Chain A
Amino acid sequence: MRARLFAHPGFVVGAVIVGAVVLMAAVSYVWTPYDPTFVDASSRLLSPSWSHPFGTDKFGRDVFSQILMGSRTTLFVGFVAVGVAAAVGVPLGIVSAMAPRYVDEPLMRGSDLLLAFPALLLAIMFSAVYGASTLTAMVAIGIASIPSFARVIRSGALQVMRQEYVLAARVAGRGPVAVGVRHVLPNVASLVIVQASVSFAIAVLAEAALSYLGLGTPPPTPSWGRMLQESQELLFVAPRLSVFPGAAIALAVLGFNLLGDGLRDVLDPRLEDQR
């Protein structure tokens, strides 16, 4: 399977991009060229040079350092949001697949209803009530991603439930919880991985949009979306300032999308063969 993954061009490109983003975040913990929040009035709006590879912003902050630190925000929000979605969505999907129809039906209708509340609307509601923060953004994105997890895992679990080993386990007297955890969960794990990667891409997009609107991570913590928003007022003066965060967002989303598509292409046929 590893050979097939590495023969998949989309997966390889996606993995390289995602690897680069993770590397950037890791590097930012030990080293950034400058303190990304350091305001230096004497070096405002500098063009890219050897000392500032991406130039500086209107406060004289080093853009390259901010991009490095911003990758942390992106990954952190993505991880927590996808974690929230998986933690609720995966059990929901499995329970829905195993339970009788009068449990399954309301659970799925409820999850469908959640689709009418996109991440942005939830984030707006949260920040109206609690004020905008990284936490409200993460939770909003996470909740909005629950239905897609629940749906995908439910259909995978329904297939697994038809397998003979599940029947054997039930005949042998295993309870529903044991069947769910020991037999269903490991067999939908690949679906969880694929969905996590796809949801991560959506989470990165949503985080960028929320911080652009000022509904995400508050300043001074660098975030790509807010860098973009700050660059917009200077579009006529220094249009290059929007290029770096913009490219970072698009590349990160592209990376997770390609990774997810590649994983799906390679991992999914296995489930289809079992049908």
Chain B
Amino acid sequence: MTLRLLLRTGALLVSLAVSSAAVFAFMAVLPGDPARVALGVNASDAAVAAMRTQYGLDRPLLTQYVDWATHLVRFDLGTSYVSKAEIGPQVLDRFQVSLWLVVVSMLIAVIVAVPLGTLAAVRHRSALGVVVTAVSQVGVAIPAFLAGIALVTVFAVMLRWLPANGWTPPSADPAMFVKQLILPALSLGAVQGAVLTRYVRSAVLDVLREDYIRTARAKGLTPVRALVRHGLRNAAIPVVTVLGLQLATLLIGAVVIERVFVIPGLGSLLLDAVRTRDLIVVQDVVMLLVLAVLVVNYLVDLLYLAIDPRLRTGEVR
């Protein structure tokens, strides 16, 4: 158990080191000169040279990388090449916005998928089960931003129940905050819910075929009680993995949804930085998103240990 934990933590640290080096190498080395990119092709050599000195871009690459990485660890993200503002506080602000979106979407996905997927598995031979499976299949084919546009068309344009876009912090106007969050969270959550429904269905189907369910049924438990008492915990293992992977997908999906609903989250910051060629902001935000994905996967692995006692006692693979 302890060895497993240590190995997994070590793997996380190595992954972080390698991916940060990859991001740095791509963003700082490949374009040739970030200062030239930021200032544009028409900038004078003197201006470019001045900017290189100002941001330390004239130092050896290894020094630059170590400097960037060590500052990153202390959450000092440096200053923007374009707006000259501190990046850290901006990112923190934007991240809170994205986090609301991601967490609420995830909740929606779970609330939709767990009952529907279980239903589709338990009733997999009935018309109801087939309908749920078919609907989830179609849902998987719909990208979140398309669902978003469809939801806006119905609930904002036609019915006029909810605002088409925008963002209000919960502290400023809680009612407006909820109204504006519903559609974006629903578009991200419903699509992820469709994907998750398929996984829940197949996980529950697998469990239903197990001997211990038959034993529980033979003991006189009803199918539902047998599933609740013995099955769901086992079915949870593959579902939690997918949930973890989905959390990562949601973080990235939020980038697109933020554009659809004009939400000032991390994604908008990233896309604006791409437009203004603010490479340091792109580099920082990409690295933070990669970090989030890696850390989520790490936590999922730890969660495994908590859910499945067999992994705790078993030897390291």
B293 at the interface (CB under 8 A from A): yes
Q: Which B residues lie within 8 Å of A231 (CB)?
A: 149
Do B146 and A250 have beta carbons less than 8 Å apart? Answer: yes
Q: Shortest distance in angstroms between A158's beta carbon and chain B's nearest beta carbon?
A: 15
Is B79 an interface position by the 8 A CB rule? no
- Given the interface pairs A121-B289, A209-B256, A239-B153, the reply to whether A257 lies near B279 with Cβ below 8 Å is no
Pick from A21-29, A95-103, A111-119, A166-174 the stretch touching chain B. Answer: A111-119
Q: In the complex, what residues of A have CB within 8 A of residue B152's CB?
A: 232, 235
Q: How many residues of A contact B (CB 8 A)?
A: 37
Q: Report if B290 contacts A (CB, 8 A).
A: yes
* Docked complex: B184-243 residues within 8 A CB-CB of A: none
In the complex, B164 has a CB within 8 A of chain A: yes
With CB as the reference atom, state the residue of chain A lying closest to B34.
A129
In angstroms, Cα B19 to Cα A116, docked, is 8
In the complex, how many residue pairs between chain A and chain B have their CB atoms under 8 Å apart?
A: 111
Interface centre among B19, B143, B150, B270 (most CB of A within 10 A): B143
User: What's the nearest-Cβ distance from chain A to residue B271, in Å?
Assistant: 6
Docked CA distance A201–B142 (Å): 11
Chain B residues with Cβ under 8 A from A127's Cβ? 274
Are A236's CB and B149's CB within 8 A? no
Residue of A nearest to B164 (CB): A235
Q: Are A232 and B260 in contact (CB under 8 A)?
A: yes
A228 and B279: CB pair below 8 A? no
Closest to A253 in B: B141
**Residue in contact with B149 in the complex, picked from A113, A121, A125, A242, CB distance below 8 Å:** A242
Question: A132's closest neighbor in chain B, by CB?
Answer: B274
On whether the beta carbons of B143 and A208 are closer than 8 Å, the reply is: yes
Query: A116's contact among B15, B37, B138, B156, by CB below 8 Å, is which?
Result: B15
Are A213 and B143 CB-contacts (below 8 A) given A121-B252, A125-B23?
Answer: no
User: Interface readout for A199-243 with B: 1 if CB under 8 Å, 0 if not?
Assistant: 001000100110011010000000000001001100110010010
A232 to B255, CA, bound (A): 17
Contact B273 A128 (CB under 8 A): yes
Q: How far is the CA of A219 from the CA of B168 in the complex (A)?
A: 33
Best-surrounded residue of A201, A215, A246 (most CB of chain B within 10 A) = A246
* B30 in the interface (beta carbon within 8 A): yes
Partner of A235, one of B137, B146, B153: B153
Q: How far is the CA of A257 from the CA of B124 in the complex (A)?
A: 20
A239 vs B19: C-alpha distance when bound (angstroms): 42
Interchain CB contact under 8 A, A124 and B274: yes
Cβ distance A203 to chain B, nearest Cβ, rounded Å: 12
Q: A129 touching B30 by the CB < 8 A rule?
A: yes
Q: Quote the shortest CB–CB distance from B147 to chain A (angstroms).
A: 9
Chain B residues within an 8 Å CB radius of A208:
143, 145-146
For residue B20, give the distance in angstroms from its CB to the closest CB of chain A. 11
Contact (Cβ within 8 A) A246 B249: no
A5 at the interface (CB under 8 A from B): no
Q: Does A120 contact B (CB under 8 A)?
A: yes
Task: Tell me which residues from 134 to 164 in chain B have a Cβ below 8 Å from any Cβ of chain A.
Answer: 137-138, 140-143, 145-146, 149-150, 152-153, 156-158, 164
* A130 to B19 Cα, complex, angstroms: 20
Whether the pair B143, A209 counts as a contact (CB closer than 8 A) is yes
Partner of B138, one of A113, A228, A254: A254
Closest A residue to B152 using CB positions: A235
Considering the complex of A and B, which 5 residue pairs feature the smallest CB-CB distances, nearest first?
A254-B141, A253-B141, A128-B282, A116-B293, A129-B31
* Chain A interface (Cβ < 8 Å from any Cβ of B): 109, 113, 115-118, 120-121, 124-125, 127-130, 132, 201, 205, 208-209, 212-213, 215, 228, 231-232, 235-236, 239, 242, 246, 249-251, 253-254, 257-258
9 new A-B contacts at CB < 8 Å, known A215-B274, A253-B140? A117-B19, A120-B255, A121-B286, A121-B290, A124-B255, A128-B273, A201-B141, A253-B142, A257-B141
Enumerate 8 A-B pairs (CB-CB under 8 Å) in ascending A order.
Answer: A120-B256, A128-B27, A201-B141, A209-B145, A212-B259, A235-B164, A239-B157, A254-B141
